Structure formats: structure tokens, C-alpha cells
Amino acid sequence: MDRQRMALIYEDCAETVTRAAWHYTGSLHTAQDCAEEAFLRLMKQEDMEDAHILPWLIRTAVNIAKDTLKAHEHSRTVPLDELSCAACAVTDDELTLSERAAMRAMLSLDERYRLPLYLHLAQGYTIIETARLLGKGMNTTASLIRRGKKLLQKAYEKEGF
């Protein structure tokens, strides 16, 4: 893949891929490493249609995140200083009270719900597309999203909203 095309893809997709990995790992730094590795692997790909690049990058970054967490026996906790929306390139000062509560509510969810919810709600993927990205069945993905939404609503209400 040539450098110009890769630079454009990186500009368009880096934030989304990093966010997807971040929702899985809970760590901005680990997520950035996973996203970077996914882009390096993309450079080795010969030919790929533009429509398949972002889903491929997300799936690859998530797989790398899984492998990284297994290899390092990484803690699932999130340090308080990383609770800001660093992965979103937004500072705490720029977030409304409601947005901060939503972020805390999302981070309080079990990891199996966070990524499907993020892909479906924030990125706008359909349930079928989300299932393909996660390598899960459509019914399983729909159940995770449905349960995740209920848990997210409870967590959001717990935040006082």
C-alpha cells in the first residue's frame, strides 16, 4: 500500500480504531499501541477495497488487544487520570456534566458489553455489522447490545441522570 493512501486512511480511521481498542482494554496507551499495530499490519496488505478497511482495522485492533491482555495479564481497572476522554481527544473541561456521567457509566460496564455498545451506538454499525466485526453471531450480538443498553441505563441513572 502506498504512503499517500496509508496517510489518508490513518487520518480517517485512527481515532475510531483507537477508541474501539480503548473500549476493549480500558487503557488509552494500550489502545494506541493496538491501533498502531493494526495500521502496521494494514501496510502489509496487498489490495483491499476501501469499504473493508475500517472494519478490518477495528477487528484487527480488537484481536491485538485481546492478545495483549492475555499475554500481560493486564488489569481491567482504569486509573482515575485516564477516566477523562483522552481517547476521544477531548479534555475533561470540554465535557458537559452529562457527558462525563455517560463516560463513567460506559466504563463501569463489563468489557463484553462496552465494545458492542460502542460500535453500535457511537459508530453507527448495524447489529449484523457489529457481529461481523466482533466475530460473534447476530443473536449473541443483539443480546449483548440489548443487555448492555439496560445496564448502561442503570449505570447512568446511578450517576444521577
Reduced to 3 states (helix: H, G, I; strand: E, B; else coil), residue 89 is: coil
pLDDT at 88: 47
- Give the pLDDT of residue 93: 55
pLDDT tens per residue across span 38-91 = 999 998 887 888 888 999 999 999 999 888 877 765 444 444 444 444 444 444
Instruction: Specify the pLDDT at position 95.
Output: 62
Does the fold of domain 92-161 match that of domain 1-76? no
The whole-number pLDDT of residue 61 equals 94
CA distance 122 to 133: 15
Q: What's the topology of domain 92-161? A: Arc Repressor Mutant, subunit A (1.10.10)
pTM above 0.75, yes or no: no
pLDDT of amino acid 150: 92
Residue 102 confidence (pLDDT)? 75
Architecture of domain 1-76 in this structure = Orthogonal Bundle (1.10)
What is the percent of the chain where pLDDT is above 90? 31
Rounded CA-CA distance 97/31 in Å is 25
pLDDT tens digits, 7-46: 999 999 999 999 999 888 888 888 999 999 999 999 888 7
Is the pLDDT at 97 greater than 90? The verdict is: no
- Exposure letters 146-159 (e unless 16+ CB within 10 A, then b): ebbeebbeebbeeb
Domain ranges of the chain: 1-76, 92-161
How many Cβ atoms from other residues are within 10 Å of residue 84's Cβ? Answer: 17
Question: How many angstroms separate the CA atoms of 37 and 41, rounded?
Answer: 6
Whole-number average pLDDT of the chain = 81
